Amino acid sequence: MKDLYMIACVSKDGGLGKDGGLLWHIPEDMKFFRETTKGSTVIMGRKTFESIGRALPGRRNIVLSSRKGESADVEWCTREELEDTLKTVSGKKFVIGGASLYEMFLPAAEKIYLTEVDGVKPADTLFPEFDKSKWHREIIQDSEYDGAKYEIVEYTRR
C-alpha cells in the first residue's frame, strides 16, 4: 500500500505498552510523533484510541473497531471496511497502534519510525518482530532522557 508508515516507541525487547498505556514518555519522541504525523492520516485500534482519549488534532483519525464509537471526530471502520477506506486516502498514512494493527500492516508498510529505547520496562504489548536486514536503517536523532538512551530511527523497506 502506497505511503503506509508505522510509528512507535519501543523498549530494547520490543515492549510498546502496559495496562493500556505507553512505557516511555520522552518529550522529544512525542514532539517527533506530532511533527511527523501532522497533516496525515493516523490509523489506530479502539484500545489505542481509548488510551489517547480523543481524536488527534490536525490529522484524519481512523479507528479500527468491530463497533462504532461515540466520537464524531474519528472515522470508525470494521476490519472489512478499513482496507477499502485506506485505498481512498491520499498522502501519508500512519499506523500508530496497537500491536495487532502493527502486525496486520507490517507486510505492507513502506517505512517504520521507531524510537528505540536502550532500556526495558515490564510490558504486556510488543511491537511485532521484523527482519531488519530487509530494511535500510537511518538514525534521525539520538539522545538520552531520564537516564535512558534512545534513537529515533527511520526504517525504509529495501
DSSP collapsed to 3 states, 57-126 = CCCEEEEECCCCCCCCCCEEECHHHHHHHHHCCCCCEEEEECHHHHHHHHHHCCEEEEEEECCCCCCCEE
Joined together, the cell numbers standing for residue 102 give 502493527
Residue 13 is part of which domain span? 4-157
Q: What is the pLDDT of residue 72?
A: 84
User: How many domains are contained in the chain?
Assistant: 1
What H or E segment, with its residue span, contains residue 4? strand 4-10
> Taking 90 as the threshold, does the pLDDT of residue 144 lie above it?
yes
Report whether the peptide linkage leading into residue 14 is cis, meaning its omega lies within 30 degrees of zero.
no
CATH of residue 126's domain is: 3.40.430.10
Joined together, the cell numbers standing for residue 146 give 531520564
Distance CA 114, CA 109 (A): 13
Residue 66's region, left for phi above 0, alpha for psi from -120 to 50, else beta, is alpha
Question: In whole numbers, what is the pLDDT of the chain averaged over residues?
Answer: 96
* Model confidence pLDDT, tens digit, residues 37-90: 999 999 999 999 999 999 999 999 999 999 888 888 999 999 999 989 999 999
Q: What is the pLDDT of residue 25?
A: 96
Distance CA 80, CA 83 (A): 7
> Taking 90 as the threshold, does the pLDDT of residue 3 lie above it?
yes
Provide the 3-class DSSP secondary structure of residue 54.
coil
